[in-house]
Amino acid sequence: MAQKYERIVVVGGGSAGWMTATALATEFKGRIGIELVESEDIGIIGVGEATFPSIREYNRLVGIDEAEFLRATNGTYKLGIRFHDWLELGRDYFHTFGHFGNLFGSQTLWAQHRRMGLAEPLGQQCVPTVMAMQGRFVLPSEQAQFKYAYHFDAVQYAAFLRQLAIQRGVRHTQGRIVEVARRADGGVAALQLDDGRRVEGDLFIDCSGFRSLLLGDALQEPFVDFSHWLPVDGAWACPCERSGEEIKPYTEATALEGGWAWRIPLQNRTGHGHVFSSRFIDVDRAREQLLARLDGKPLAEPRLLRFTTGHRQRFWVHNVVSIGLSSGFLEPLESTSIYLIQDGIARLMAALTTGRPLDENDLALFNDGAARRFARIRDFIILHYCLTRRRDSELWRHVATMELPETLAFRLALWRGYGVLHEYDEEGFDATSWLAIHAGMDHWPERQDPVIAEIPAERALQALKGRSKAIAASVERMPLHRSTLRQVLGQ
């Protein structure tokens, strides 16, 4: 049945809820009633400190000034992620959002790089990687074009957006939802709050976090479980005091015995966490391992979070659309959750602005696209694990030998056999990102392109050396990350 919506109710006041409400209010400017219901007693998850470059696009669309945003959220700049110990103990690599320049526009040249015995790591050919390694940051310009993201305090980000959304006309209702009243067609009619109030709407956006109050609990939408491929199911999170003056312009992800640890630098503190699989490590041991890694005085007791990787089979059912953790969670390795929130918002906006009543086909399109996006990102995250040479603990032996999703197995075969970086639709990461992980994990095509034999190796090697020297020299002249940050913040 075709539907038009006049009153939208957003359930939840975490990043997902306020990002959705702010985007809706910005787009519809009072033409549609928007109400957000949240329970302060329940609170928000409050993690999610590392992002993906798309966050800048979201901020731009809703008109957020970068300096104001960084001030409000204790934000810092992020050029990528440094992975320690994923291939082998003692080996690390960097995944930047940038590209590797013309030199690596062709796989042929890249394979040639390999044939030369990897004279230099791939990262030395990449400006943002060299910037990250030197702790420097400048905003992109004509001369240096690259993508960047942020680290920020998730609780402060939600509060910042709340203010903005309310200014733009979003009605804010505080209260615990205790019952969900249903319509005859199976959709949601209203929310019953614990103080007796009733909130009615014709479209409900479920941003209720892992509880998945509407789509999961009320509508009983099945969960597509990915934990046989992504076995992590818990995390200890703990902020600590910043040590020293340096603020690294990147996230760190260190592979440990039963999972991996994050390190995220903010202006005022450093976020630490240990994401682990309880199948492979005891919860208390995971906590001890996190505490042993803190590089400053802890600012709170470590907090335990539990989850299952995967997503709801459908994301939009009847008049309920699920965005954020209520729709699914992969794991935080590539900081993709806020990106997936944005992706959900973009799909929702595209549907709501068609100017015509929506029908089952619109919902099917939404659901199909969102499910494929989850699957693409899932494959990209698995790539970080399955290429490991580590066999020193059960987790690593498991991920190195597990059966892969068909879509990923096909991509690996194409890469190994022919040097082809195959792309599907609804990709979360482009070919450059796939290249960065293959390179970082020392995973190269077996076949050598015949063209390579025609290029004198010595000349190519010199060209590569010249390029990396020029990059290193130009990066050395750039300001340190904390200087740029201070300048942007007006300190």
* Catalytic site positions: 78
Binding residue (CB under 6 A) for ligand FAD from 48, 75, 128, 328:
48
Nearer residue to ligand FAD within complex by CB, 16 or 382: 16
State the alpha helices, DSSP H only, in 134-254: 154-167
What is the gyration radius of the CA atoms in the chain, in angstroms? Answer: 23
Question: Are the CB atoms for 274 and 290 separated by under 8 Å?
Answer: yes
Residues 6 or more apart in contact with residue 444 via CB below 8 angstroms: 111, 114, 438
Q: Does 270 bind ligand FAD (CB under 6 A)?
A: no
175-234 residues in contact with ligand FAD (CB under 6 A) are 176-177, 207-209, 211, 213
Q: Does 414 bind ligand FAD (CB under 6 A)?
A: no
Residues 6 or more apart in contact with residue 473 via CB below 8 angstroms: none
**Smallest distance from the beta carbon of 29 to ligand FAD, in angstroms?**
24
Rounded Cα–Cα distance for residues 317 and 370 (Å): 13
Nearer residue to ligand FAD within complex by CB, 319 or 337: 337
Binding residue (CB under 6 A) for ligand FAD from 8, 25, 51, 73:
51
**Smallest distance from the beta carbon of 336 to ligand FAD, in angstroms?**
6
Rounded Cα–Cα distance for residues 84 and 293 (Å): 13
**Smallest distance from the beta carbon of 105 to ligand FAD, in angstroms?**
30
Backbone conformation region of residue 46, classed left if phi is above 0, alpha if psi is from -120 to 50, else beta: left
**Smallest distance from the beta carbon of 43 to ligand FAD, in angstroms?**
6
Q: Does 14 bind ligand FAD (CB under 6 A)?
A: yes
Rounded Cα–Cα distance for residues 219 and 212 (Å): 10
**Smallest distance from the beta carbon of 271 to ligand FAD, in angstroms?**
8
Rounded Cα–Cα distance for residues 211 and 35 (Å): 20
Select the span of 48-56, 83-91, 280-288, 462-470 touching ligand FAD (CB under 6 A): 48-56
Q: How far is CA 73 from CA 66, 69, 81, 158, 278, in A?
A: 11, 6, 20, 9, 32
Q: Does 35 bind ligand FAD (CB under 6 A)?
A: no
Nearer residue to ligand FAD within complex by CB, 234 or 445: 234
Q: Does 343 bind ligand FAD (CB under 6 A)?
A: no
Q: Which amino acid is at 86?
A: W
Q: How far is CA 69 from CA 14, 153, 161, 296, 321, in A?
A: 17, 11, 10, 26, 28
Chain residue whose CB lies nearest ligand FAD: 14
Nearer residue to ligand FAD within complex by CB, 85 or 343: 343
Residues in the annotated binding site for L-tryptophan = 334
323-342 residues in contact with ligand FAD (CB under 6 A) are 324-326, 332, 335, 337-338
Q: What are phi and psi of 78, to 5 degrees?
A: -130, 125
Rounded Cα–Cα distance for residues 292 and 289 (Å): 5
User: In which element (H, E) is residue 288 found?
Assistant: helix 283-293
Size of the site for ligand FAD (CB under 6 A): 38
Rounded Cα–Cα distance for residues 432 and 147 (Å): 12
Q: Does 307 bind ligand FAD (CB under 6 A)?
A: yes
Binding residue (CB under 6 A) for ligand FAD from 8, 10, 16, 81:
16
Residues 6 or more apart in contact with residue 363 via CB below 8 angstroms: 314, 316, 317
**Smallest distance from the beta carbon of 301 to ligand FAD, in angstroms?**
15
Residues in the annotated binding site for FAD = 13-16, 325, 338
Token output for 470 = 């020029």
Q: Which amino acid is at 112?
A: Q
Residues 6 or more apart in contact with residue 78 via CB below 8 angstroms: 50, 51, 148, 149, 150, 151, 249, 250, 251
**Smallest distance from the beta carbon of 12 to ligand FAD, in angstroms?**
3
Rounded Cα–Cα distance for residues 366 and 346 (Å): 10
Binding residue (CB under 6 A) for ligand FAD from 3, 26, 42, 217:
42
**Tokens 């440990």 found at:** 256
Three-state DSSP state, 156 = helix
Q: Does 12 bind ligand FAD (CB under 6 A)?
A: yes
Nearest C-alpha neighbor of 1 from the set 314, 363, 313: 363
**Smallest distance from the beta carbon of 438 to ligand FAD, in angstroms?**
23
226-245 residues in contact with ligand FAD (CB under 6 A) are 235, 237
Residues 6 or more apart in contact with residue 362 via CB below 8 angstroms: 351, 354
Select the span of 31-39, 80-88, 399-407, 447-455 touching ligand FAD (CB under 6 A): 31-39
Residues in the annotated binding site for 7-chloro-L-tryptophan = 78
57-86 residues in contact with ligand FAD (CB under 6 A) are none
Binding residue (CB under 6 A) for ligand FAD from 47, 126, 215, 475:
47
Nearer residue to ligand FAD within complex by CB, 162 or 168: 162
Residues that bind ligand FAD (CB under 6 A): 12-17, 37-39, 42-45, 47-51, 154, 176-177, 207-209, 211, 213, 235, 237, 273, 305, 307, 324-326, 332, 335, 337-338
